[in-house]
Structure 1
Amino acid sequence: MLFEGLELVSALATLAACLVSVTLLLAVSQQLWQLRWAATRDKSCKLPIPKGSMGFPLIGETGHWLLQVFSKIFSHEALESYLPKIQLVIQDTLRAWSSQPEAINVYQEAQKLTFRMAIRVLLGFSIPEEELGHLFEVYQQFMENVFSLPVDLPFSGYRRGIQARQILQKSLEKAIREKLQCTQGKDYSDALDILIESSKEHGKEMTMQELKDGTLELIFAAYATTASASTSLIMQLLKHPAVLEKLREELRTQGILHSGGCACEGTLRLDTLSGLRYLDCVIKEVMRLFTPVSGGYRTVLQTFELDGFQIPKGWSVMYSIRDTHDTSPVFKDVNVFDPDRFSQARSEDKDGRFHYLPFGGGVRTCLGKHLAKLFLKVLAVELASTSRFELATRTFPRITLVPVLHPVDGLSVKFFGLDSNQNKILPETEAMLSATV
């Protein structure tokens, strides 16, 4: 009898704990987007903010005119101008990785790489390297606390996130003012230039606060998911050396690699990358198996029925990208890393709509998807042509999905340059970047 009583108490305690957890989860789910917004956008911002699918403002949705701005920022012409700068940043990074005597934490270094790309290329800031390193640390603190419980107490994650945001905005304001004062020597228009000019064309002279908000949003958009995908790319090339060799063979065939293995200069253009079919297959397969985010939210515009259940108009629904990829009937052997599934001969993704959606789908598809794919393609080309790398641990780490997909230990890898020059930061690279940002 006593034993049964203890079982009952235990069951009630478990039920109570579950109820508390569910209540907390519901409360958090209602606060997350508000917190994310509060941590990135100042209340004095006057941009029109339409409501998102959860009833809260979503980052980047600042009016129809801003959607037009983003279409310019990620246009074919803009991507063509970003390409040589992205390549320089990646080459610089890989040389630094190869010069390290010890293995590197790929996920952490990929975060630094995507942050540097956003600062140097997208925003065109010429921030000194030492200051850039400090800014990255502050940004990491901001990111680590952006989804904290909205409890504004000393030493809370929320308070740390707000403090990091304030430091970030102060540094960003300094960089913006310096950029606005120095307009000479640029050979391309970066994303911030396009944002400023487009706002003037639409009679929306942006305040400094709005410029800081827009800058932080662009960094946010280019940072976490791209670092996740970059890490997954490197892990899969390590796991599948035959894929890496096939990629190298395609580069040789297209005249991007010399027979000795080093890259030919001046060979990367958008049309060149578009012609690398196997490279495209590799990137697609990485994004199929290792989509950085789980899914997205949408608002039901018209009542419909799904598997016998009626979904009313106005409801908020969440679609799962990973479950879609895992259960889609068009993909064969879904757990196998097989880039050839996207080849012209098989084209598994062409059979039906919305079976493959790493960047979402419909009118709300990711605006920056072309930039993300460009970055991954350039990284893959540089990895194949200028680096040798090997796993520094006995086994590959397991994967966690929160906050974005990444290896639990960050993926420890030792990089080696293919020749002696790969271990040196070429002075013309830094000079070239400084002259164009």
Structure 2
Amino acid sequence: MVLVAVWPILVSIFISVAPAVLLVTASIYLWHLRWQLSHDRSWLLPLPPGSMGLPIVGETLHWLLQGCEFHSSRRRQHGHVFKTHLLGRPVVRVSGAALLPPLLLEETSRVGVSWPRSAHDMLGPHSLANSSGHTHRARRKVYARIFSQAALESYLPQIMKLVREAVTGWCARPGSVSVYPESKRLTLRIAAAVLLGSLPSQEELTDLFTNMEQLSENIFTLPIDIPGSGYRKGIRARDKLHQYLGKVIEARRQAGGCEDQPGALGILARSSKEQGMDMGVQELTEAAVELMFAAFATTASAATSLVLQLIKHPAVVAKLREELQTRALGAGALLRDISRLRYLDNVVKEVLRMLPPVSGGYRVALHTFELAGFQIPKGWSVLYSIRDTHNTSPIFQDPEVFNPDRFDEDQMESKNLRFHYLPFGDGVRRCVGKELAKLILKVFAIELVSVSHWELTTRTFPKMLLVPIVHPADGLQVRFFSSA
């Protein structure tokens, strides 16, 4: 009797749900069929293995939720070359030193630069990241002056001052410090001071931090321009940054020219004029946002990873302190003094090997080509992996072990690290600001081990997340104490 009474309800539910289930199933089937048929039929080679996920969104949600494990799990399942669908684009992901040279050295002949649309729109068409060919080469020459030895030497006193103030403030706090957010505040202050030649007001810094945070959190997001979307938030933050920096640049121009002003912005304006480019207000504004974003997000990530490894490895801290005592750096340390700290250099290299802030780089196939026995169709994005390449390189024994000594000159003498170690990328896209980033990390490490000690305030070490930049899930909660 009960079954007789329930049966009409079950039939009704089935009739209501069945069309939706069939529609979803058909949509998923047609989505995957579309990509199977999108290969270049003049090539006999198959597409790489992998899944294109759900219609429209692909595997973007899995990527955002799984972080580092997303790519690692698929590499273990499919190998060093696999396909997926991220941020609205079909993507082939590649890792391993043997497979990277065509992607890093053959720009314009095999691949071109192609960041996701969200990153392209937020950084702007005039940014170094989004330029290519002759324009990219010319802009790199202009940017290079910002990171010359003379320029780095001029930034060093300000960097040391700001780092010292930050670490002293952390030690004075009675409770724990959330290292990642605080590192971002520090790197933003450094980026603003280096760029402008002086520190903006506290109110301006607060606004810069809020908008840069919004930009960095949403730079890799689905390009859906609707109220409340990450894309809309990122674009709004970009516009506010452009408004502030545009006013600064315009005011400097009216006061006699940007090229006569201090800081990296003045060097950039002078360099562009000397190279015959003479960047306008919009170009300088996009350059300023790009430079601040790079210093803010990636350097803060590396600084947080540095603290994490120092907590985990007290023997490394002891060895660093011994080196610093031997060298006896003073308050007026010069660039050459810091460059002579070999063990410190090894520590920074090892941090960047284990936890590179940027997990990889985007390219686009300019025409169909072969890689590892698979065809990479024209127009598809190609994402090369830095992190997995480091983890699978035969040059690095026991890659899961933090071991700065692996970078000793006698250990590396017979090894060619190129394409095996690339925390700053390689080829024509190698990070132009890598020396400044390493200098900030070294000054930060020197200050930490010289004036403080610390303890983790959580029971376990945090999970590391991959998107948008490598960072700890809980921010890394640490209590700092003064060694004085």
TM surpasses 0.5? yes
Question: Structure 1 residue 304: deviation in Å?
Answer: 7.6
Number of paired residues? 396
State the Cα deviation string for residues 384-434 of structure 1 (Å, max 9, x = none): 112222111121111111111111000001112222xxxxxxxxxxxxxxx
- Residue 28 (structure 1) aligned to one of 67, 81, 87: 87
Question: Structure 1 residue 334: deviation in Å?
Answer: 1.0
Q: Which residue of 1 aligns with 2:449?
A: 384
- Residue 224 (structure 2) aligned to one of 144, 151, 165: 151
Whole-angstrom CA distance in 1 between matches of 2:423 and 2:22: 41
State the Cα deviation string for residues 61-82 of structure 1 (Å, max 9, x = none): 9543211111111112211211
Q: Which residue of 1 aligns with 2:208?
A: 135
Matched, 1:249 2:322: yes
Whole-angstrom CA distance in 2 between matches of 1:349 and 1:285: 18
State the Cα deviation string for residues 314-365 of structure 1 (Å, max 9, x = none): 8753321111111111111111011111112322883453211111122321
Q: Which residue of 2 aligns with 1:425?
A: none
Identity of aligned residues (%): 50
Question: Structure 1 residue 295: deviation in Å?
Answer: 1.4
Cα 1:157–1:305, aligned 2, differ >3 Å: closer, same or farther?
Answer: closer
The residue identity in structure 2 corresponding to 1:41 is: G
The residue identity in structure 2 corresponding to 1:287 is: L
Cα 1:352–1:408, aligned 2, differ >3 Å: closer, same or farther?
Answer: closer
Cα 1:130–1:101, aligned 2, differ >3 Å: closer, same or farther?
Answer: farther
1:227 alignment partner, SS class: helix
1:197 alignment partner, SS class: helix
Cα 1:382–1:283, aligned 2, differ >3 Å: closer, same or farther?
Answer: same
Alpha carbons 1:91, 1:382 under 8 Å: kept: yes
- Residue 476 (structure 2) aligned to one of 408, 411, 415: 411
Cα 1:60–1:271, aligned 2, differ >3 Å: closer, same or farther?
Answer: farther
Alpha carbons 2:368, 2:375 under 8 Å: kept: yes
Alpha carbons 2:87, 2:116 under 8 Å: kept: no
- Unpaired segments ≥5 residues, structure 2: 1-9, 32-52, 59-84, 90-113
Whole-angstrom CA distance in 2 between matches of 1:217 and 1:60: 19
TM-score of the pair, normalised by structure 1 = 0.80
2:478 alignment partner, SS class: strand
- Unpaired segments ≥5 residues, structure 1: 257-263, 420-437
Alpha carbons 2:456, 2:477 under 8 Å: kept: yes
Whole-angstrom CA distance in 1 between matches of 2:302 and 2:419: 20
Whole-angstrom CA distance in 1 between matches of 2:251 and 2:379: 46
Whole-angstrom CA distance in 1 between matches of 2:414 and 2:390: 10
Alpha carbons 1:331, 1:349 under 8 Å: kept: no
1:21 alignment partner, SS class: coil
Alpha carbons 1:392, 1:414 under 8 Å: kept: yes
Whole-angstrom CA distance in 2 between matches of 1:326 and 1:27: 23
Deviates more, 1:333-342 or 1:213-222: 213-222
Q: Which residue of 2 aligns with 1:279?
A: 344
Q: Which residue of 2 aligns with 1:327?
A: 392
Q: Which residue of 1 aligns with 2:463?
A: 398
State the Cα deviation string for residues 20-45 of structure 1 (Å, max 9, x = none): 62532347344963232323338xxx
Question: What does 1:22-421 align with in structure 2 at a 5 Å threshold?
Answer: 23-25=56-58, 26=85, 28-30=87-89, 33-41=116-124, 57=130, 63-180=136-253, 189-256=262-329, 264-266=330-332, 268-298=333-363, 307-309=372-374, 317-347=382-412, 350-351=415-416, 353-419=418-484
Whole-angstrom CA distance in 2 between matches of 1:155 and 1:309: 40
Whole-angstrom CA distance in 1 between matches of 2:426 and 2:368: 19
Alpha carbons 1:387, 1:417 under 8 Å: kept: yes
State the Cα deviation string for residues 193-244 of structure 1 (Å, max 9, x = none): 1111122224444332222222111111212111111000000001101100
The residue identity in structure 2 corresponding to 1:327 is: T
The residue identity in structure 2 corresponding to 1:234 is: V
Alpha carbons 1:298, 1:318 under 8 Å: kept: yes
Question: Structure 1 residue 374: deviation in Å?
Answer: 0.9
Question: Structure 1 residue 305: deviation in Å?
Answer: 6.1
Deviates more, 1:9-18 or 1:389-398: 9-18
Deviates more, 1:306-315 or 1:78-87: 306-315
Deviates more, 1:198-207 or 1:405-414: 198-207
Q: Which residue of 2 aligns with 1:431?
A: none
The residue identity in structure 2 corresponding to 1:24 is: V
Whole-angstrom CA distance in 2 between matches of 1:231 and 1:349: 32
Alpha carbons 1:110, 1:231 under 8 Å: kept: yes
Deviates more, 1:108-117 or 1:348-357: 348-357
Question: Structure 1 residue 166: deviation in Å?
Answer: 2.2
Question: Structure 1 residue 281: deviation in Å?
Answer: 0.8
Alpha carbons 1:341, 1:348 under 8 Å: kept: no
Whole-angstrom CA distance in 1 between matches of 2:196 and 2:414: 34
Cα 1:302–1:270, aligned 2, differ >3 Å: closer, same or farther?
Answer: farther
The residue identity in structure 2 corresponding to 1:269 is: L
The residue identity in structure 1 corresponding to 2:397 is: K
State the Cα deviation string for residues 59-104 of structure 1 (Å, max 9, x = none): 9995432111111111122112111211111111111212222211
Cα 1:227–1:58, aligned 2, differ >3 Å: closer, same or farther?
Answer: farther
Greater Rg, structure 1 or structure 2? 2
Whole-angstrom CA distance in 2 between matches of 1:59 and 1:383: 40
Whole-angstrom CA distance in 2 between matches of 1:321 and 1:146: 19
Question: Structure 1 residue 159: deviation in Å?
Answer: 2.5
Alpha carbons 1:295, 1:319 under 8 Å: kept: yes
Whole-angstrom CA distance in 2 between matches of 1:181 and 1:100: 43
2:453 alignment partner, SS class: strand
The residue identity in structure 2 corresponding to 1:229 is: A
Whole-angstrom CA distance in 2 between matches of 1:187 and 1:386: 38
Alpha carbons 2:218, 2:230 under 8 Å: kept: yes
Q: Which residue of 2 aligns with 1:434?
A: none
Whole-angstrom CA distance in 2 between matches of 1:37 and 1:11: 37
Alpha carbons 1:229, 1:287 under 8 Å: kept: yes
Whole-angstrom CA distance in 2 between matches of 1:382 and 1:183: 38
2:117 alignment partner, SS class: helix
The residue identity in structure 2 corresponding to 1:198 is: S
Deviates more, 1:171-180 or 1:195-204: 171-180
